[in-house]
């Protein structure tokens, strides 16, 4: 089983390709749809995801797709399961398995992720539905006294438990410890917190005997807070990120698949390009973008099914540009 986990993990970070995060929860996709005045009902969500998954040629740039619990059960208008649509293109289907964040008791401003109860049974079901990898997200806010050691420890523990259970079920875990961009902190503070978080995450993963060569890391880039007026250049983001990661990420990890967080599409792609331009690390530097791949698609679609072709064109373009960034060949918007 370990050999299969390693093989799948490597396939997900094959050079030139990255992962589409299409695992938005109901509240998240409702926010995205509300911006284009579209009702978030099951059919609209299904149709929108069909636009993404049936785009011709995306398999040249996309290695895997993270699905949501509802999405992995859905089908195209012709009745083909989405997981099968992806597999037929050579794209690996995955699944978000956490059940979202709740307030951490006695820790104002901090969240803990839930979903370990019954996870073993759900993993078996997802395997039968075609999933070959999983994802679990935890978040950390930066504030005057945040994040606390308790929050870092508790969320790192759940990430390690999730990863161990996933591998036991034959699924590659993507561990996502996100240091949020919310706030006015500078890039130095983001680096400090990112280091603390990743250090603890890997300690817990090793404690739980998780096979590091059979998992992927989905971290934030080291970047300033959204409210900080001093915007770092792509080169500064890349240097800060890689200097931090070299100190804490084990060489056995096959790849780092960055989240885009609060970055816009062009910003995320430019920063990914700079990371690969510097490179010089043991792991593939890839992407697992949600909003940074989908924002132009949503805008082009706007809830009008006649706009399907324009929306797919927008998705193809962003996927291609991020593929170029993986090879440090992104030259700006075309």
Place of tokens 């709740």: 102
The catalytically annotated residue of 17, 110, 218, 284 is 218
| 42 in catalytic set | no
Q: Which stretches of 110-257 are DSSP H helices?
A: 119-128, 149-168, 187-207, 234-248
Q: Give every CB contact of residue 174 below 8 A, 6+ residues apart in sequence.
A: 19, 66, 94, 133, 134, 135, 136, 215, 216, 217, 218, 257, 288
In three-state secondary structure terms, 120 is: helix
Q: Give every CB contact of residue 266 below 8 A, 6+ residues apart in sequence.
A: 333
Angle, alpha carbons 44-46-49 (nearest 5°): 105
Please give the structure tokens belonging to residue 58.
């995306």
The catalytically annotated residue of 24, 50, 110, 176 is 176
CA-CA-CA-CA torsion sign (147, 276, 326, 308):
positive
Q: How far apart are CA 262 and CA 123, in angstroms?
A: 30
Long-range CB pairs of 123-126, under 8 A, 24+ apart, other chains included: 123/97, 123/165, 123/166, 123/169, 123/171, 124/169, 126/72, 126/95, 126/97, 126/171
Q: Give every CB contact of residue 2 below 8 A, 6+ residues apart in sequence.
A: 211, 213, 214
> Regarding beta strands 133-140 and 111-113, do their DSSP bridges make them parallel or antiparallel, or are they unpaired?
unpaired
| 218 in catalytic set | yes
Please give the structure tokens belonging to residue 291.
């909003």
Catalytic residues: 176, 218
């Amino acid at each position: 089983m370990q050999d299969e986990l390693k093989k799948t993990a490597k396939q997900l970070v094959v050079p030139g390709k990255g992962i589409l995060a299409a695992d938005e929860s109901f509240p998240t996709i409702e926010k995205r749809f509300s911006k284009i005045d579209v009702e978030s009902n099951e059919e609209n969500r299904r149709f929108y995801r069909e636009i993404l998954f049936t785009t011709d040629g995306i398999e040249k740039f996309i290695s895997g797709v993270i699905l949501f619990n509802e999405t992995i059960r859905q089908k195209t208008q012709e009745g083909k399961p989405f997981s099968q649509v992806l597999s037929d293109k050579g794209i690996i289907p995955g699944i978000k398995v956490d059940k979202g964040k709740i307030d951490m008791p006695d820790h104002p401003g901090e969240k803990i992720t839930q979903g370990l109860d019954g996870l073993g049974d759900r993993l078996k079901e997802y395997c039968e539905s075609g999933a070959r990898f999983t994802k679990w997200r935890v978040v950390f806010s930066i504030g005057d006294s945040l994040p606390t050691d308790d929050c870092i420890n508790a969320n790192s523990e759940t990430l390690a438990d999730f990863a161990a259970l996933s591998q036991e079920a034959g699924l590659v875990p993507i561990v996502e410890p996100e240091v949020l961009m919310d706030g006015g902190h500078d890039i130095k503070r983001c680096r400090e917190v990112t280091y603390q978080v990743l250090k603890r995450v890997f300690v817990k993963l090793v404690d739980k005997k998780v096979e590091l060569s059979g998992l992927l890391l989905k971290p934030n880039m080291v970047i300033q807070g959204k409210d900080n007026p001093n915007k770092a250049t792509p080169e500064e983001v890349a240097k800060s990120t890689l200097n931090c990661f070299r100190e804490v990420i084990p060489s056995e990890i096959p790849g780092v698949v960055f989240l885009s967080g609060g970055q816009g599409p062009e910003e995320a792609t430019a920063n990914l390009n700079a990371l690969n331009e510097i490179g010089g690390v043991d792991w593939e530097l890839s992407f697992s973008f949600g909003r940074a791949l989908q924002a132009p698609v949503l805008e082009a679609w706007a809830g009008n099914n006649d706009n399907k072709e324009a929306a797919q064109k927008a998705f193809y373009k962003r996927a291609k540009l991020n593929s170029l960034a993986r090879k440090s060949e992104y030259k700006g918007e075309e």
